[in-house]
Structure 1
Amino acid sequence: MMKNDGPVQKTNDFSTLSKASAAAAGYIPDLFQKCFVSRTCRRAPLIHRGYWLRSQAITHCIREFLQDTELCPHRQVLSLGCGFDSLYFRMCREESVVGMTSFWEVDFPAVVKRKRQVIEQTEELRSLLVSSSECSVSVGGIGLLSRDYKLLGVDLSDISALDSALDDAGLTWLCPTLVLAEVVLCYMEPERSTEVIGWAGRRLHNARFVLYEQFSPCDPFGQVMMNHFVSLNSALRSVVKYPQLEEQVKRFLQKGWEKCRMLDMNEFFSTCVPDSEKLRIESLEQFDEFEELHLKCSHYFILAASRGVLADCLALQPICCDQTGISVSPAPEFYAAVPVTSLPVPICGLRRFGHRSCLVSPQVILTTGGFGKGNHKHQRLGDIHLLLQEKDIWTEEISISQWDGRLLHSLTPLAGGDILVLGGRFSPSHPAKGAQILQYDQITHSVTVIKRDLHPDLQRWRHTATEVSLCAGQQYVFVFGGCSVASELQEDVLFLQTDDMCWMQVHVEGVVPSRCHSHSACAWKGGAVLSGGLLQSGLPTGSIYLLLPQDQHFTFYKLDTSPPLTPRYSHTSHVIGDKLILVGGVWIHRRGIPGLSMVDLLTGHVREFELYTVTVDWPLMLHAHSSVLLPDMKTLMLLGGGGTCFSFGTHLNLQPVVLDLPPCIR
């Protein structure tokens, strides 16, 4: 038996509550999961989508297995570490399964005892069993046997007991068998879990092994994930041993499996989920945790290893063969490393994300809004924060309680010294209205907030707003993209005249960038540079567009980059001379995490730089952050950043950090 397996068993209870919540919200077509919970608990949309995608992956693999074995008189599905999953009862509704497929479930004896009691005490479940009876497994565990459903209480780390229990209960070793292991082997000692993989490869001659669990433990999100399970006393042991996908593939091939294919969950979503299902999920509830979902999916994988006749059938087949699918590449080759250091004096007021920051004087950084810790809980923040430099050290904080709580807005310094606030939201269904002008007083360190009406209102967030000017002298704020609910302003390209807060019709030539949000924009040569963003398809883009002024109009130019810039979003950007600097963000087309990218705006040449964070003693997450180019033009300060890391808790960067830009950028 695994040492101290109680905490591992408790992860089943959390998972069951989450599955039941996702089913109740319409994500998962499951009428039975609610039978295994004693209370209801509505999870966040992020949790719902994570469990929905997990269900999609497992269901996809089951469908493939049933299709690949449709001519066989009988099939078996063996679920290892089944917990309170309702798979058998859901499949009972399918005519092609009844009588042709038997379902075998194995878990700790204590878990199986509880599950058996629920089944026997629930008519809705008990009625789906054919000639069921309680059984005593040879190692002392209590199980349940019916014609098509077998529930056995055995510790998976005891291979001999597992083999004997299945053999005694009548498993047919030569029958085509699908083995499922959803987030179970990762809790075992690596040697033990590898033994399970090898045992299944030896005993089952015509089989497919489907594994769903975590990987990539060393990047910031991975560290938060690993620390979470350690805090629950249920460490992810095999993830440490096999941190990368290639190592998992090698593991299976070395243990007798003939073919092995795997996808991280971002790849699975883009290639194996029908568009109709994606649209259905979008309609269920408002969602605005894109970064957290993509990061979660880049740390989970679905693997299908096959042997025997099943090895001749391709597993995890894509359902779309067009450009909407992705294939994840290795991390890029970095040109150099950029040192990152945290400020020497503790700064507590900038532990937030979804905020905006700008330099209002050479020694003062102003930050507005965001989500962080206030009043001893996580919430939308209602302050304007000032960070002041004294004697070359950023040390003093001032918090001004004049903010209305909006986040994901835009913050645009204007030529006259004012700062323009546009858009933002209070929740994904409640956009902020109107505009604000912020006026900073350098003598008193006070901020005056002037509210202004917009006609029509903007009602969007995750957009950008950049001050631009035509050669004829007209100045505007150029607004692009963003998320929105119902709004009169449907255009992606908008121009605001700030004197009277009126939207202006400005002629724009060239190809307008595709609709997106969470991109970045900065001023250059009187126009703007747009980079990255998350497209309507749910995939990030690596495009860069230049909006350049002419005499009486603007023209869009697409910049071709070499090598192609890796698609990303939720990053920040700055221009130094003719060089565009991209900082952090989220990407899903490559392993690893974005650091700092330099793009020559004249030639399109791209260089990638790794962030050297060895002196930063916490996981540094660089999405939903803000960054400020300091007056020396040699350093960047990164403020805030982080997010809700799926079910692993909310992570906030503890301190602002400073990046020393390499000489080739300055």
Structure 2
Amino acid sequence: MGRGRGRRGAARDKAVQGTNDSSIVSKFSTAALGYIQDSFLQYFTSKRCRRAPLIHRGYYVRARAVDHCVQEFLLLSQGYSRRQIISFGAGFDSLYFRLKDMGLLNRTVVYEVDFPSVANRKAALIKGIKDLATVVGGVGERESGAMSFAGEDYKLLGVDLSELSELEQALKEAGLDPEVPTMLLAEVVLTYMEISRSDALIQWAAQHFPCAQFVLYEQMHPEDPFGQIMQQHFSRLNSVLHALAQYPDCEAQRRRFLQAGWAKCSVIDMNEFYAGFIPEDERQRVQALEPFDEYEEWHLKCSHYFILAASKGEELAWMPVFSRMLAFSADDPPRITGSISASVCTIDSEIAGLKLYGHRSVLIKPHVILITGGFGEQDGRHCRLRDLHVLIRHKDNWRAGSVRLENPGNTWSGRLFHTVTCVSGSQALVVGGRMSPTNVALGMLWLRFPESMTASDPDCVVVELVNPQPAEDLSSPRWRHTTTEVTCQADCVFFLGQKYLFIYGGRSSVQPVLGDWYFLHLEELSCRRIAIRGQVPEARHSHSACSWDGGALIAGGLGAAEQPLNTVLFLRPAGSGFQWQGVETCPPLIPRYSHTAHVHDGKLLLVGGVWLHSASVPGVTVIDLMTGISLEYQIDTVSLEWPLMLHNHSSIFLPDEKELLLIGGGGNCFSFGTHLNPQPVCLGLSNILTSQ
């Protein structure tokens, strides 16, 4: 602990040190599942706990990004007689042991720096474990001062990074040579320091080393909903992320290093790194390691972490990592036309089950909304929701009601990512969904409710569950798909004017993305073969679909490479069946998925979702289907007391009021906790729908 830091500073230091223990457990779990190859992590953790797939992916891409930069440095500097790597806040990381075992540390000395208590614990492990001591080349000797362990090419120092003079002295005593090509590495370390101290460290490094590379991996974007949850998490742990306020994005971090004296600096987020630097076959290997269905949270996590590489000295200024990073660019930022005010929807009674995601909402009467399935909060715990709920509008307020399910022989099963289509005034059809990524054998289900239902009805609505006979040829259980009502105008009298449910895309437990479709005859509940001309679109899931002019509008989605799509497609009724037709938008649609969509008066509304342009979150996109003009509107959430996460949500468009009712939404925010929007939100759209 540094001098004069006091009890509060000591508590913060202890909390920061605790992040090492949690991190090493996650790293070991990631290696145990085969994401990374690291046989040394087992020696640094006494706790064995299998983490969630989302955590594994997060630590995998972090490891790949850091390893990429380290190996580029070693490759470029291989002609030098001596090299150095300094790892700040190294904790129990196994970088030295992996590199040494791979034979990559020829003529290279690794210096690891952390709090004295952490360094002493690590030194004791190395001395007490034969496999570790063998890699180092002996058990080493404890030196005086800050040295906790000293090997020929490995120095472990116990120093508080905030005390710059002590750090410089300790490195000097350990044999560091400023004239030797040096890499400085800081993985989620500097942000825990007060900004003045971390800035001083960056500037000191630029002044101290004439030929060096500084690699930084940290968080960013504190301003959006995910960023707010992230900050709250670290604040609860007494590990405040100091750098976020002053350096909130990639550009701010780049300027930070350039102003500190570094000659070159490039920064990209983890979405860009994953797509641009990891080969396709490796991505496919990782994506197949274990069942995964948290795409939104994965992309949001990656948009909130960056890898930075700064350099000085001609020898390192043009290393390939910089030119490649500079060549890779993200989507163009959205051009915002205006904003839409969000207000909490007034509900005159409290009801459990409206804090949820992965559910569906459907307007079964002009002012009655049925909410089905999903994952959310019930009885103080998070679980799959088996209860159905209704919202009934009365004047300006909504009344929440419950649903009593009839026909005990059939169960709702608590499915997620299904679809619900209201096909008449008394019934809706449920298609697909999953209970878990490996349990998806969920077929169709009829929901039957009273023909007449008004705002004066009682709070409990009776819904009968009916299992229909399985539809022919509908042999692929799926979720994250869409179902859209279309009308066939084929020349054949047998098809003419008949209504079908167009089931499109999604994913299954076998196929990570589906590109097939079915026409389900709603009366006979059987599949029909109807011709579709035109180029077959790219397979997708988590897209949107709306009925329009007898056909279906398909927008966005996530493709086979787990990258968002920006296409808008129209399944247009044609003389011999249907035809795929692209809808050109100006400007081009930003790639997007996990949104909802509605059509009103020739305009397509895309609501929320996830895109990889992390400088803002998706609001409402309005596309004029006649002209193709696309306008972006931000959602102004100043009146809300909590972050509004609009992915895995549902939305209901009320045409008479020109309002959007947003229900649910949110998910697991990496290791930072689960956020569920606590109440429905209302968006008034009358201004934007009449101003175009």
Q: CA deviation at 1:662?
A: 4.0
Q: CA deviation at 1:406?
A: 0.9
Find out whether 1:435 has 2:439 as its counterpart: no
Counterparts of residues 251-290 of structure 1 (less than 5 Å) = 251-290=256-295
Q: Does the 8 Å contact 1:61/1:315 carry over to 2?
A: no
Counterparts of residues 355-434 of structure 1 (less than 5 Å) = 355-400=359-404, 403-415=412-424, 417-434=426-443
Partner of 1:503: 527
For 1:590 and 1:148, the matched residues in 2 are separated by: 41
Q: CA deviation at 1:590?
A: 5.2
For 1:422 and 1:330, the matched residues in 2 are separated by: 36
Aligned CA distance change for structure 1 residues 486 and 46 (closer, same or farther; 3 Å)? closer
Q: Which amino acid aligns with 2:76?
A: D
Counterparts of residues 151-162 of structure 1 (less than 5 Å) = 151-162=156-167
Q: CA deviation at 1:361?
A: 1.1
Q: Does the 8 Å contact 2:265/2:322 carry over to 1?
A: no
Partner of 1:476: 500
Find out whether 1:623 has 2:647 as its counterpart: yes
Counterparts of residues 493-642 of structure 1 (less than 5 Å) = 493-589=517-613, 591-642=615-666
Structure 2 residue corresponding to 1:78, chosen from 80, 86, 103 = 86
Find out whether 1:26 has 2:31 as its counterpart: no
For 1:255 and 1:40, the matched residues in 2 are separated by: 41
Structure 2 residue corresponding to 1:464, chosen from 482, 485, 495 = 482
Partner of 1:343: 345
* Residue identity (%): 46
Q: CA deviation at 1:416?
A: 5.6
Q: CA deviation at 1:616?
A: 0.7
Q: Does the 8 Å contact 1:304/1:315 carry over to 2?
A: no
Partner of 2:183: 178
Partner of 1:316: 321
For 2:144 and 2:386, the matched residues in 1 are separated by: 60
Q: Does the 8 Å contact 1:132/1:147 carry over to 2?
A: no
Q: Which amino acid aligns with 1:451?
A: N
For 1:10 and 1:320, the matched residues in 2 are separated by: 33
1:125-151, Cα deviation, whole Å (9 max, x unpaired): 11111244233453xx45100001110
For 2:313 and 2:436, the matched residues in 1 are separated by: 52
Partner of 2:408: none
1:240-270, Cα deviation, whole Å (9 max, x unpaired): 2211211111110111100000101101111
Find out whether 1:353 has 2:362 as its counterpart: no
Q: Which amino acid aligns with 1:332?
A: P
Q: Secondary structure at the match of 2:110?
A: strand
Partner of 1:334: 336
Structure 2 residue corresponding to 1:296, chosen from 297, 301, 306 = 301
Find out whether 1:454 has 2:432 as its counterpart: no
For 1:246 and 1:659, the matched residues in 2 are separated by: 32
Q: Which amino acid aligns with 2:193?
A: M
- More moved, 452-461 vs 175-184: 452-461
Find out whether 1:307 has 2:315 as its counterpart: no
Runs of 5+ in structure 1 lacking a partner? none
Q: Which amino acid aligns with 1:110?
A: S
Q: Secondary structure at the match of 1:248?
A: helix
Could you tell me the TM-score, scaled by structure 2's length?
A: 0.92
Q: Secondary structure at the match of 1:268?
A: helix
Q: CA deviation at 1:106?
A: 0.2
Q: Secondary structure at the match of 2:142?
A: strand
Counterparts of residues 41-80 of structure 1 (less than 5 Å) = 41-80=49-88
Q: CA deviation at 1:633?
A: 4.5
For 1:664 and 1:358, the matched residues in 2 are separated by: 24
Q: Does the 8 Å contact 2:429/2:446 carry over to 1?
A: yes
Q: Does the 8 Å contact 1:177/1:207 carry over to 2?
A: yes
Structure 2 residue corresponding to 1:112, chosen from 116, 119, 123 = 119
1:390-413, Cα deviation, whole Å (9 max, x unpaired): 333013231446521110011112
For 1:417 and 1:170, the matched residues in 2 are separated by: 81
Q: Does the 8 Å contact 2:265/2:310 carry over to 1?
A: yes
Q: Which amino acid aligns with 1:658?
A: C
Q: Does the 8 Å contact 1:271/1:318 carry over to 2?
A: no
Partner of 1:192: 197
Q: Does the 8 Å contact 1:347/1:656 carry over to 2?
A: no
For 2:436 and 2:238, the matched residues in 1 are separated by: 34
Partner of 2:149: 144
For 1:296 and 1:663, the matched residues in 2 are separated by: 34
- More moved, 206-215 vs 379-388: 379-388
For 1:496 and 1:458, the matched residues in 2 are separated by: 14
Partner of 1:92: 100
Q: Which amino acid aligns with 2:224?
A: D
Partner of 2:492: none
Aligned CA distance change for structure 1 residues 415 and 397 (closer, same or farther; 3 Å)? closer
Q: CA deviation at 1:577?
A: 1.1
Partner of 1:163: 168
Q: Does the 8 Å contact 2:126/2:139 carry over to 1?
A: no
CA RMSD in angstroms, aligned pairs only:
1.9
For 2:324 and 2:285, the matched residues in 1 are separated by: 17
Partner of 2:20: 12
Aligned CA distance change for structure 1 residues 490 and 598 (closer, same or farther; 3 Å)? closer
For 1:157 and 1:525, the matched residues in 2 are separated by: 65
1:608-637, Cα deviation, whole Å (9 max, x unpaired): 001011001100000000000124241000
Could you tell me the TM-score, scaled by structure 1's length?
A: 0.96
Structure 1 residue corresponding to 2:141, chosen from 134, 148, 153 = 134
For 1:44 and 1:399, the matched residues in 2 are separated by: 33
Q: Which amino acid aligns with 1:478?
A: F
Counterparts of residues 647-662 of structure 1 (less than 5 Å) = 647-662=671-686
Q: CA deviation at 1:12?
A: 0.7
Aligned CA distance change for structure 1 residues 177 and 431 (closer, same or farther; 3 Å)? same
For 1:423 and 1:361, the matched residues in 2 are separated by: 23
1:81-110, Cα deviation, whole Å (9 max, x unpaired): 00110011111122242x321111000001
For 2:425 and 2:536, the matched residues in 1 are separated by: 29
For 1:184 and 1:237, the matched residues in 2 are separated by: 11
Q: CA deviation at 1:475?
A: 1.1
Q: Which amino acid aligns with 2:49?
A: C
